[in-house]
Chain A
Amino acid sequence: MDLYRELILEHWQSPQNYGEMKGADLIIDQVNPLCGDEVTFYFKFASLSSPRKRGSSNWIPDQVGNDKDSSRPLDKTQGKQARTITDVSFVGKGCAISVASASILSEAIKGKSVKELSKLTGEDVFEMLGGPVVPARLKCAFLPLEAIRGILNSKSEARNPKQFSKL
């Protein structure tokens, strides 16, 4: 399998949903400590059950990186899982593999619920990338997935680089 297949090169050349987002509900940084690749994802959410209301007692954080977990009346997990990603964008510095992976994933998760997102696996990423990548580049391919999975964590800022072992 050619690593630099058409699909990957296309997304490298013109990455989808690339750029910073104003008024994002959540920003997640992910770093690959081995090579220094960085990606930052921006998300906007809407609740499936009730529309998002800024400043209310709604569980949706009203400021970027200010996730008011403690004040939420609803069951945390349920509430979080019910969210839908209405918009997503990313910026970063990285190789073609990680840029393409971020671009393809950003397209794939838009409009999806957080619950659906929690089921995303490394295999799914391979499928989206049109096949597996060589072992040396696994971390590049999975960096964006790791970032996106930060949504599932209660500490949403996810400023800590994480390992890929759980993939």
Chain B
Amino acid sequence: MNIKKIKADFPIFNRKINGKPLVYLDSAATSQKPKQVLAAVDKYYEAHNANVHRGIHTLSVEATEAYEAARKRVEKFVSSSAKASEDKGVGEIIFTRNATEAINLVAYAWGRVNIGKGDEIVTTIMEHHSNFVPWQQLAAENGATLKVVPLRYAQGKLGQGNGELDEEAFKKALTRKTKLVAIAHVSNVLGTINDVKRLSLVVRRLAPAAKLLVDGAQAVPHMNVDIGSLGVDFYVFTGHKMLGPMGIGVLWGKREILESMPPFLFGGEMISKVTLEKTTWNELPWKFEAGTPNVGGAIGLAAACDYLDGIGMDNVRKHEVELTKYAIGRLTKIPGVVIFGSTDAAKRAGVVSFNVGPIHAHDVASILDAEGIAIRSGNHCAEPLVDFLGVASIARASFYIYNDKADVDRLVEGVRKVIKTFRIHTNTTNDK
């Protein structure tokens, strides 16, 4: 991978932040966009813009073709294996605003119909709020029970197996009453990669009545994901974390389940026939795409898929493992820095969450910002997890294809500056 060449594709790196060249380490929040994606969106609006699935005129036909081609392109991006082509037609790609909306679509159109009093929903403590709050809400509304599976060795620091899902507890949580299992593919705080394929077998065995929804927002941008082979019922991800524009997300659902579900939103596009007395629904996937969709966003996301496939997702993953290993190695050597999650870079995604002594993550982020370094700080939309880890806030550096070791070096330098500014003397290290 030629990082210099890749970086040159991202106009944002021409910017200086507080007089310093930008080091962007917040891709887990949103990725930057390459000029190829920006150009694809521009080209759509400059040359083909029209409403889709409606008009007879040329532009409308072109826009519709481009939109549906984008759907096919995204589907191909997440169906890499030979098995996927055999299974073609098993799943359906529905465009949403983002991963959150995709999860809410399932919560409303499937959850509220199929989950009731006495039923159980199983989720984990490592979920982003987007895959936690909708289920907490549904459970409260319909009288279901929400079970939250903890992690192994959560209170400790960096270590082998740390930050991994407690599989024993997971198994215990699954029963015949379980109607839904909602888990993250990759934790946005710890980087923990859940072995979805194996977990899905456990779910089928111990909770035969359950549907499995996986939040892939932190997985699809960073590794090869072949949804059809994972054994899931629903899988969601979002475009803006994978070089695409904001406002375009994806719900992948098993066709037979989607067929059985009532619509989520009502209005234009999602109908088949409307009379004064009644309305019938459009076919999949349009049944779930009420209103004018984000055509430009879908086209931008397709361009992002092209860009990532141009690099190769296995290369993306390899690069991030390397950077993560390097970052963990360097940060652990700084006295006072505590890193969360597993020591094994191969078992985690390119996120390194850490704290610097007793210093609040916002203060760490502010000092780094003054150095032109962008990191995330706070509770990462995963408050239950941050509470579970027993800290007030967490600083997080996350990597992507445009980051290199020099970025990590700048981060390390910045963290040293944090320590110097706050004059902390601490003997807490991970080496002990």
- Whether A36 contacts B370 in the complex (CB less than 8 A), given A95-B362, A96-B363, A140-B362, comes out as no
The reply to whether A35 and B363 form a contact with Cβ atoms under 8 Å apart is no
Tell me the dominant secondary structure on chain B's binding face: helix
Residues of B within 8 A of A159 (CB): none
The reply to whether A4 and B393 form a contact with Cβ atoms under 8 Å apart is no
**Interface digits, A64-101 against B, CB 8 Å rule (1 contact, 0 not)?**
00000000000000000000000000000111110000
- Whether A35 contacts B393 in the complex (CB less than 8 A), given A9-B422, A95-B360, comes out as yes
**Interface digits, B208-237 against A, CB 8 Å rule (1 contact, 0 not)?**
000000000000000000000000000000
- Whether A9 contacts B359 in the complex (CB less than 8 A), given A36-B383, A134-B366, comes out as no
* Complex Cα spacing A37 to B379, Å: 10
Residues of B within 8 A of A136 (CB): 366, 369
Q: Does A3 contact B (CB under 8 A)?
A: yes
Residues of A within 8 A of B423 (CB): 9
- Taking the nearest CB of chain A, how far is it from the CB of B422, in angstroms? 7
Q: Does B386 contact A (CB under 8 A)?
A: yes
The reply to whether A4 and B421 form a contact with Cβ atoms under 8 Å apart is yes
Which of the four size classes fits the interface of chain A?
A: 10 to 19
Q: Does B268 contact A (CB under 8 A)?
A: no
Q: Does A137 contact B (CB under 8 A)?
A: yes
* Complex Cα spacing A76 to B200, Å: 62
Residues of B within 8 A of A96 (CB): 359-360, 363, 422
- Taking the nearest CB of chain B, how far is it from the CB of A164, in angstroms? 16
- Whether A4 contacts B367 in the complex (CB less than 8 A), given A35-B393, A36-B392, A95-B360, comes out as yes
The reply to whether B363 and A97 form a contact with Cβ atoms under 8 Å apart is yes
* Complex Cα spacing A94 to B367, Å: 16
The reply to whether B379 and A35 form a contact with Cβ atoms under 8 Å apart is yes
Q: Which 9 A-B pairs have the closest CB atoms?
A: A95-B360, A93-B392, A95-B362, A35-B378, A36-B379, A96-B363, A95-B363, A4-B421, A3-B366
Interface residues of B (CB under 8 A from A): 359-363, 366-367, 369-370, 377-379, 383, 386, 392-393, 421-423
A3-B370, A34-B378, A96-B422 given; 12 more Cβ-contact pairs under 8 Å:
A3-B366, A4-B363, A4-B422, A9-B422, A12-B422, A36-B379, A36-B386, A37-B393, A95-B360, A97-B363, A136-B369, A140-B362
